[in-house]
Amino acid sequence: MYETQILQLDLVGIAQSGQCFRMTEIENGVQLIAKGKFLQVQDLGNHWFRFQCTQQEYEDVWKEYFDLNTDYTQYTTSILKRDRFLQQAAVYGAGLRILNQEPFEMLISFIISQRKSIPAIRTAVELLSKTFGSPIETEQGTVWTFPTAQQLAKADLEELKSCGLGYRAGYVLDAAQKVANGQLDLEHFRNQTDEYLLAQLQTVSGVGIKVASCVALFGYHRLKALPIDVWMERVIEKVYKGKWPKSYQKYAGVLQQYMFYYARCPECDFLKEKQSTSAKTK
């Protein structure tokens, strides 16, 4: 195991933020399956964390995965001082980070996410992994990696539907087959523009701008990507009078995470307030 001090990391907040569906809460921390590995991380208090892995694995895999080389104060200081909603959201969401996840996993996960709650998405993704992924033996028992495009491309629709995918099964199979046969080169997209990336992702059946934006943000770390779901629609309409502030575009994806996380919490009363309390931004 490896212990280290990290000033900006909220494990539970990240697990609940809707960007990762294979991270679950445990006592004082989380456990996850990512990058073909299983990991448990515990919050020891006073910004100290225990990673159940070697220091080498932490440096090689998890430091980048949790985006720990980035100082998130550069994003919070970009928030307009008169924007009470986002100021409070950033405080509430302190420690949230944009994970560096696998593009294929994000593509399939967010295709599945359409019209599903976060718990339902987790269940479907877990069933998909258990059915088509590869086993990993851990001290906690057997877990399964997220399936590769080649593993999923061999599935039939009934097998996929049995994982709770419903009408999304055809979309998942289309995506897996396009990636497996090279028609959709996800690695090639890493060096392309945001516009090109979003356009190419939307060539997959069932992928619209919202899903493409989620994949761009959480799978490619494109911080200008702005996924708009029903919660963000409410925020933009009620807090920003129907228009996303242009001054926030550079870090839109990070600021969106603060907004999304805060808007769903019981402490947030901005969406219940009248128009007169809206943030005044350009």
- Reported as a single tens digit per residue, the pLDDT across 184-206 is 999 999 999 999 999 999 999 99
Q: What would the mean pLDDT of 74-84 be, rounded to a whole number? A: 95
At residue 35's C-alpha, the angle toward residues 33 and 36, to 5°, is 70
Strand order of the sheet with strand 23-26? 2-5, 48-51, 37-45, 29-34, 23-26
Amino acid in position 219 = G
- Judged on CB neighbours under 10 Å (0-12, 13-18, 19+), 265 is exposed
Give first-to-last CA distance, the chain, whole Å.
48
Nearest to 42 by CA among 8, 6, 11, 79: 11
pLDDT of residue 278: 40
Residue 277 predicted with pLDDT over 70: no
pLDDT at 271: 76
**Residue type at 49 in one-letter notation:** F
- Indicate if the pLDDT at residue 174 is higher than 90: yes
Find where tokens 């943030």 sit.
Answer: 279
One-letter amino acid for residue 65 of the chain: Y
Q: Where are the alpha helices (DSSP H) in the chain?
A: 11-15, 55-57, 63-65, 73-76, 84-92, 103-112, 118-132, 149-153, 157-161, 168-180, 194-201, 209-220, 230-239, 252-263
DSSP 156-201: -HHHHHTTT-TTHHHHHHHHHHHHHTTSS-TTGGGGS-HHHHHHHH
Q: pLDDT, tens digit, for every residue of 204-238?
A: 999 999 999 999 999 999 999 999 999 999 999 99
- DSSP structural state of residue 111: H
Give the integer Cα–Cα distance in Å for 214 and 114: 11
Q: What is the mean pLDDT of residues 45-65?
A: 97
- Would you state the pLDDT for residue 280? 39
Candidates 33, 29, 24, 27; CA nearest to 9 is 29
Contacts for 236 with CB less than 8 Å, ≥ 6 apart? 228, 242, 243, 244
Can you give the pLDDT at residue 266? Answer: 83
Count other Cβ atoms within 10 Å, centred on residue 40: 18
**Residue from 215, 222, 254 nearest 110 by CA:** 215
